Amino acid sequence: MVHSKVIAKGMFILTTQSPSKGKVFSLSIAHLFNDWYMNYIQTLLPFMVAAGLGISRGAFLISAFTITSSLFQPVFGFLVDQKNQRWMVYAGTLWMAVLISLVGVLQSYPFLLLTVTLAGLGTAAFHPQASAMVAAVSGDDRKGSFQALFMAAGNVGWALTPLMVVPFTQKYGLNSTPLFVLPGVLVAGLLWFTAPRVPAGAKAAPPPLWLTLRAAWSELAKVMLVITCRSMAYFGLVSFLPLYLQHENISLLAGSRLLFLMLFSGAVGGLAGGYLSDIFGRKAVIVGSLVSASPLFYLFLGSSGPFSYLLLALAGACLLSSFSVTVVVAQEVISKNAAMAAGLMLGFGIGIGGLGVGLVGLLAEHIGIVYTIRMLIWLPLFAGLLGLSLKGKKTPASLSVSS
């Protein structure tokens, strides 16, 4: 339960809230399992390519899932801002788990494409509502830290996917993928019982969406450009780094462990980035981390041995240090539309970047995987330079206003 001190003032009520850590933890665990599925197709890509599916066809499966899983998030965010939609978190997770677990057994490419496209709607429903729930129960002075915990849990889920799926699929084959529905069923049950309930009337009606976006479009557009470049690098590396490592005579199993190292370090970096953004400001974390990521990736590609592991871990941490920070920036820009802000940043911004994976797949087929990876690693630097145009804000909003 969120404890609050209520002070009447005119026609408004100022609420100073303390965080509900249990609810944040529950939502974070659910986010871990939800995002475990979001890296599922990418992890299976080498197996599907080995089974005869072309790189570009596999990449467009990732893009199709990304279109619905990300680009529809602002739509669901709009619904959440109008009225709490608690059902979205558990129904969306279950829907995605059931459909995406069929990837390994579907033989028809058009039907496979349709299935992953529909599966994306599940995670599109989950993210805006869950992120808004975290914002609602985080208290007044820990929004950056708790949103970072929520985002970091999702990134841990991404990291665990190759570590779990690769050895299992190597042993039992693609026909075993329906068994991967089980985590989704479990987390849907968890959310049914633990997702925060927002009483009717406890939430103030948000201002008209068009007026909100018109007033803030310039700053939102800059944040989305940063996220787009960062997510294109992120999705591209997650999708094609295992193929690059195979080209460099590193086994798929060893490559999955390196990918886990990068993604897990990214989760830790995201947690640290959210905490540091509450102290040093959002812009400093966004720019500093992204500008540092590209040189570290470059050094990793040219190194070997234990030092290369350290470089990859640092690069992954820097790449995702700003993951939650950009969401908080958007929620501070349009503070009355927290779910819409999360939907725009996690949805449209990430979706456009992820959509580019299909084009990157075509590029890899034409110029080779080595040149493609060497191109992707410089996108974070470009994103960091774009971040210089953001307005600096050193302290988060300290009060929430409700009627």
pLDDT of residue 14: 36
The structural domains of the chain, ordered by start, are: 4-402 (1.20.1250.20)
**Tens digit of each residue's pLDDT (9 = 90 or more) over 225-239:** 898 899 889 888 988
Rounded to whole angstroms, the Cα distance separating 149 from 135 reads 11
Q: Of all residues in the chain, what percent carry a pLDDT higher than 70?
A: 78
**Tens digit of each residue's pLDDT (9 = 90 or more) over 98-136:** 999 999 899 899 999 999 999 999 988 888 788 778 877
**Tens digit of each residue's pLDDT (9 = 90 or more) over 354-374:** 777 878 888 888 888 999 999
Average pLDDT, the chain: 80
| Most confident segment among 6-20, 196-210, 337-351 | 337-351
Overall average pLDDT of the 201-217 stretch: 56
Q: Name the percent of the chain in helix, strand, coil, to the closest 5.
A: 75, 5, 20
Which stretch of 91-100, 174-183, 246-255, 332-341 has the lowest confidence by average pLDDT? 332-341
pLDDT of residue 376: 93
Q: Is the pLDDT of residue 185 over 90?
A: yes
